[in-house]
């Protein structure tokens, strides 16, 4: 049998066609073809590794490209959110300044809790003894002769 | 997991590994289909004869399944684990043969046999450096190929290891065209590897 053709060796190495019996016999007897098969298998191995590394690199690239899209979007969102927050906080400050037109209505509606005279005097100084109103009256009313 | 007990061909390698570690027989069948040829090629690339390489590959899968059934297989990194196991078996076969010859009183051939050439690459930094450089060259050349050729190459050498007929059907071309494109990619890679190592003979067939 003549030496195997490059196509035959490639077919064996690529697994495209199983080697038949005469080819196997020749391969075991012919050191030249055995060496060619070894060389082609080394190339096949390099291609497998290249494909594996390529897919790993591509998945990293896809991840990086996804970040390239996600990061600007996130930055835009942050800017928009910050702008919205600033705008609403400015409105809040404005709302704290009560317009003069609204002030009387507010004051008349409900008296403030810290208005003088409305709080329980006992709460100023717990334990403080308030002089009973009857004692004040004692000095106001002229004593009976 | 996209594949339950049904068609394992749609599973990713990680899913298959998980199923195989759980003792799923169909997952093992699919793993052997996907990576069997890759293991044979690794042994051929180390100078093992085709028949012996195929026997050692069968033995490799048997050992891995036995390890899994015995509960000694914690993870399944493929095809790395299978290739490592096959290379180890090849070395062991070479040592056993050498011992038998020594016991039989035969004079050992000074020529190193292919089994003895199967070395563990992880212990050789020079080999690893060369391997990295080679890998970069291969990747660069694949990137330089036309888009259609890249697509065919990536599909054929992809994770699911489809047959050439399946690739032809999926990409809408003939099987002959798929093989022709693959042969063109191989020729380009062979040429650049020959240039890189300054030994065109080393990569030619």
Within-domain flag for A142: no
- A12, A13, A51 ranked by CB distance to B153: nearest: A51
Which of A24, A36, A44 has its CB closest to that of B50? A24
d(CA B203, CA B120): 22
Residue of chain A whose Cα is closest to the Cα of B39: A45
Q: Where does the pLDDT of residue A143 fall: very low under 50, low under 70, confident under 90, or very high at 90 and above? A: low
- Chain B residues whose CB is inside 8 A of the A49 CB are 131, 135, 138
CB–CB contact A47 B189 (8 Å): yes
Enter the ipTM.
0.84
Q: Does A62 touch chain B if contact means CB atoms closer than 8 Å?
A: no
pLDDT (average), residues A127-145: 57
Question: Can you give the pLDDT at residue A101?
Answer: 52
List, for residues A50-70, the tens digit of each pLDDT value: 888 877 776 666 666 777 777
Instruction: Say which range, A75-79, A81-85, B37-41, B123-127, has the weakest mean pLDDT.
Output: B123-127
Residue B105: band (very low, low, confident or very high) from pLDDT cuts 50, 70, 90: confident
Average pLDDT over residues B123-130: 80
Inform me whether the C-beta atom of residue A46 falls under 8 Å from chain B C-beta atoms. Answer: yes
| Facing A28 at nearest CB: one of B41, B42, B51 | B51
Asked, for residue A5, whether it belongs to a domain, the answer is yes
Q: The tokens of B2 are what?
A: 């996209």
Looking at chain A, which residue has its C-alpha nearest residue B178? A16
> CA-to-CA distance for B142 and B153, rounded, in angstroms?
8
Q: Is B189–A19 a contact, with Cβ atoms under 8 angstroms apart?
A: no
User: Cβ separation of B41 and A57 shorter than 8 Å?
Assistant: no
pLDDT of residue B26: 92
> What is the average per-residue pLDDT within B2-6?
57
Confidence tier at A126 by pLDDT (50, 70, 90)? low
For residue B79, the number of C-alpha atoms closer than 13 Å in the C-beta half-sphere is 28
| Higher pLDDT pick, B137 / B120 | B137
Angle (CA) B42-B151-A45 rounded to 5° is: 10
Average pLDDT over residues B14-38: 93
Residues 84 through 103 of chain A touching chain B, CB cutoff 8 Å: none
Top mean pLDDT of A105-109, A122-126, B77-81, B122-126 is at B77-81
Asked whether the beta carbons of residue A43 and residue B153 sit closer than 8 angstroms, the reply is no
Is there a contact between A46 and B193 if contact means CB atoms under 8 Å apart? yes
pLDDT band at A133 (very low <50, low <70, confident <90, very high): low
Q: Provide the pLDDT confidence category of residue B38 given band limits of 50, 70 and 90.
A: very high
Residue of A nearest to B41 (CA): A41
What is the pLDDT at residue B18? 93
Residues of chain B with Cβ-Cβ distance to A51 below 8 Å are 142, 153-154, 157-158
A22 occurs within a structural domain = yes
Query: Residues of A with CB below 8 A from B190's CB?
Result: 43
The whole-number pLDDT of residue B66 equals 94
Do the domain assignments include residue A40? Answer: yes
Listed in sequence order, the residues at least 6 apart from A128 whose beta carbon sits closer than 8 Å to its beta carbon are A121, A122
Put simply, whether B38 touches A (Cβ < 8 Å) is: yes
Contact A53/B189, CB-based, under 8 Å? no
Query: A4 touching B, CB under 8 A?
Result: no
Please write the tens of the pLDDT for every residue from B171-183. 999 999 999 999 9
Q: What's the confidence (pLDDT) of residue B104?
A: 84
Residue A94 has pLDDT above 70, yes or no: no
Domain B120-194 has CATH 1.10.10.10: yes
Q: Tell whether the model's pLDDT for residue B186 goes beyond 80.
A: yes
Shortest Cα–Cα distance, B70 to chain A (Å): 31
**Contact call for residues B57 and B35 (beta carbons, < 8 A):** no
Asked if omega into B79 is within 30° of 0 (cis), the reply is: yes
pLDDT at B8: 85
Total of domains in chain A: 1
Mean pLDDT over residues B23-48, rounded? 93
State which of A52-66, A108-122, B4-18, B134-148 shows the largest mean pLDDT.
B134-148
* Exposed / middle / buried, residue B58 (Cβ in 10 Å: 0-12, 13-18, 19+): middle
> Which domain covers residue A71, as residue numbers?
1-96
The winner for highest mean pLDDT among A9-13, A50-54, A120-124, B197-201 is A9-13
User: Is residue A126 included in any domain, yes or no?
Assistant: no
């Amino acid at each position: 049998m003549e030496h195997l053709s490059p196509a035959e060796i490639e077919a064996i190495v690529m697994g495209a066609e199983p080697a038949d019996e005469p080819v196997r016999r020749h391969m075991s007897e012919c050191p030249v073809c055995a060496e060619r098969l070894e060389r082609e298998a080394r190339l096949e191995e390099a291609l497998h590794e290249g494909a594996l590394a390529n897919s790993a690199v591509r998945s990293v690239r896809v991840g990086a490209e996804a970040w390239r899209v996600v990061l600007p979007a996130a930055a835009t969102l942050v800017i928009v959110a910050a702008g919205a927050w600033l705008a609403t906080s400015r409105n809040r400050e404005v709302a704290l300044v009560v317009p003069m037109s609204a002030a009387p209505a507010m004051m008349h509606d409900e008296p403030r809790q810290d208005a003088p005279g409305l709080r329980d005097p006992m709460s100023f100084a717990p334990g403080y003894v308030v002089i009973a109103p009857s004692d004040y009256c004692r000095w106001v009313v002229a004593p009976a002769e | 997991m996209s594949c339950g007990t049904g068609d394992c061909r749609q599973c990713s390698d990680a899913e298959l590994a998980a199923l195989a570690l759980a003792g799923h027989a169909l997952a093992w069948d699919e793993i052997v289909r996907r990576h069997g040829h890759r293991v044979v090629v690794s042994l051929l690339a180390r100078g093992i004869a085709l028949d012996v390489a195929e026997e050692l590959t069968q033995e490799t899968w048997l050992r891995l399944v036995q390890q899994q059934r015995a509960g000694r297989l914690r993870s399944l990194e493929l095809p790395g684990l299978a290739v490592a196991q096959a290379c180890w078996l090849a070395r062991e076969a070479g040592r056993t043969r050498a011992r038998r010859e020594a016991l039989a009183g035969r004079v050992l051939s000074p020529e190193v046999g292919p089994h003895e050439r199967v070395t563990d690459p992880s212990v050789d930094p020079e080999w690893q450096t060369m391997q990295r450089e080679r890998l970069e060259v291969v990747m660069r050349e694949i990137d330089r190929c036309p888009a259609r050729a890249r697509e065919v190459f990536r599909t054929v050498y992809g994770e699911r290891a489809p047959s050439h007929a399946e690739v032809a059907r999926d990409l809408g071309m003939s099987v002959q065209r798929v093989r022709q494109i693959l042969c063109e990619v191989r020729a380009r890679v062979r040429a650049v590897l020959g240039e890189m190592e300054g030994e065109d003979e080393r990569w030619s067939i």
